[in-house]
Amino acid sequence: MNSRVLLVDHVETPVGDLALVVDPEGRLCAAGWTDGHSRMQRLLRGDWGREGAVSLVSTSNPAGISGALRAYFVGDRGAIDGLPVAFETGTEFQLRVWRALREIPYGETCSYGELARRIGNPAAVRAVGLANGANPIGIVVPCHRVIGADGSLTGYGGGVKRKQWLLDHERRAAGVRAGHSRAVPTEKLPSLR
């Protein structure tokens, strides 16, 4: 049986270690926090839930994706917008939700109900929530931008504190970019540690 090779790198961020898994074509397959995120830990052990073995090869900045994530964390608003992604799993419904997540503008949020309306299925609010929670490509496919109908922060695979940090980071960066033409240095942003 042939082993499929995927590239893996880690990016240190102000809110923890982010693992990135990239295919040989340079598409991001998974991005997630390595602490307390069981799905990401399974992926990093090579359990991709399909036939055939997966070999993860440690690679520095595969296809420039790690650099793009680092730029995002210092406030570059457009750094991750055009990154190519490859969803390795997912139902057609989940894929519709994940594509719609990429359309939520940087620094903004959307409710689960609004996201269900955007994909043409307004009654599927709970299913949208489940699909959002199953998103394998955090940050780049911004599931952290989805909030409750009342504006409250709801569950996030990386934890609600991290979700709040990401939303605050994007809002700060959007404000800095509008008022000044420079990025926010990472060391000036509060950390969860």
Q: Kindly report the CATH number assigned to the domain that includes residue 106.
A: 1.10.10.10
Considering the domain architecture, whether residues 100 and 66 belong to the same structural domain is answered as no
Query: Measured between alpha carbons, how far is 14 from 188 in angstroms, rounded to an integer?
Result: 10
Q: What share of the chain is helix, strand, coil (3-state, %, to 5)?
A: 35, 20, 45
128 is a domain residue: yes
What integer is the mean pLDDT of 122-141?
A: 94
More confident residue, 167 or 189: 167
Active site residue 143: yes
pLDDT digits (tens, 9 = 90+) for 22-81: 999 999 999 999 886 566 556 666 555 555 577 888 999 999 999 999 999 999 988 999
Q: Partners of 53 in the beta sheet?
A: 3
Considering the domain architecture, whether residues 98 and 179 belong to the same structural domain is answered as yes
Considering the domain architecture, whether residues 58 and 116 belong to the same structural domain is answered as no
Q: Are strands 16-22 and 3-13 parallel, antiparallel or unpaired?
A: antiparallel
Question: Do the beta carbons of residue 158 and residue 131 sit within 8 Å?
Answer: no
87 is a domain residue: no
- Last residue of a domain, which of 73, 100, 125? 73
What is 140-166 written as a DSSP string? TS-GGGEE-TTS-----TT-HHHHHHH
Single out the catalytic residue among 83, 143, 146, 166.
143
Q: Looking at the chain, which runs of residues are DSSP E strands?
A: 3-13, 16-22, 28-33, 53-58, 110-111, 146-147
Structure tokens that stand for 177 in this block? 């970019």
**Host domain of residue 67:** 3-73
pLDDT of residue 43: 64
139 is a domain residue: yes
Nearest partner of 145 among 183, 98, 177, 180, judged by Cα = 98
pLDDT of residue 147: 94
Nearest partner of 141 among 153, 132, 149, judged by Cα = 132
Considering the domain architecture, whether residues 174 and 98 belong to the same structural domain is answered as yes
pLDDT of residue 15: 94
Considering the domain architecture, whether residues 63 and 103 belong to the same structural domain is answered as no
Considering the domain architecture, whether residues 60 and 122 belong to the same structural domain is answered as no
80 is a domain residue: no
Structure tokens that stand for 179 in this block? 């008022």
pLDDT of residue 119: 96
30: phi > 0 → left, psi -120 to 50 → alpha, else beta; which? beta
Q: How many structural domains is the chain composed of?
A: 2
- Last residue of a domain, which of 44, 73, 102? 73
Query: Measured between alpha carbons, how far is 18 from 11 in angstroms, rounded to an integer?
Result: 5
